[in-house]
């Protein structure tokens, strides 16, 4: 009898923890949506997303200049800070 009670309590606690985790993730997504909506117009967001439809239309000179600038920044140590960095 005690074993079943303990198991039921564990199951309920796991279920609550899962529900809280899911709600936390949903709230994070809602926060990001609010931040994007506050910063960009619908037209700007649509224009940005349309770039995915035509990935090969970027100006080759711009792409090369950007590639060189990013490489220079990485060489100067201006890359990502924190857990992603392999120091």
Determine if the pTM surpasses 0.85.
no
Residue 2 in this model has a pLDDT that exceeds 90: no
pLDDT tens digits, one per residue of 38-79: 888 888 888 888 877 876 777 888 889 999 999 988 888 865
Radius of gyration, alpha carbons of the chain: 23
What pLDDT is attached to residue 68? 93
Tokens describing residue 11? 């199951």
What pLDDT is attached to residue 86? 54
Q: Are 44 and 53 in contact (CB under 8 A)?
A: no
pLDDT tens digits, one per residue of 8-30: 888 999 999 999 999 989 998 88
Angstrom distance (rounded) from CA 25 to CA 32: 11
Tokens describing residue 52? 């995915």
Q: Would you place residue 81 in the very low, low, confident or very high pLDDT band (cuts 50, 70, 90)?
A: low
């Amino acid at each position: 009898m005690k074993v079943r009670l303990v198991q039921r309590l564990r199951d309920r606690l796991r279920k609550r923890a899962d529900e809280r985790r899911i709600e936390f993730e949903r709230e994070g997504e809602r926060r990001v949506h609010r931040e994007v909506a506050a910063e960009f117009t619908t037209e700007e967001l649509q224009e940005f997303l349309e770039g995915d439809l035509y990935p090969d239309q970027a100006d080759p000179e711009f792409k090369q200049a950007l590639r060189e600038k990013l490489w220079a920044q990485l060489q100067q140590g201006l890359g990502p800070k924190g857990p992603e960095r392999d120091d």
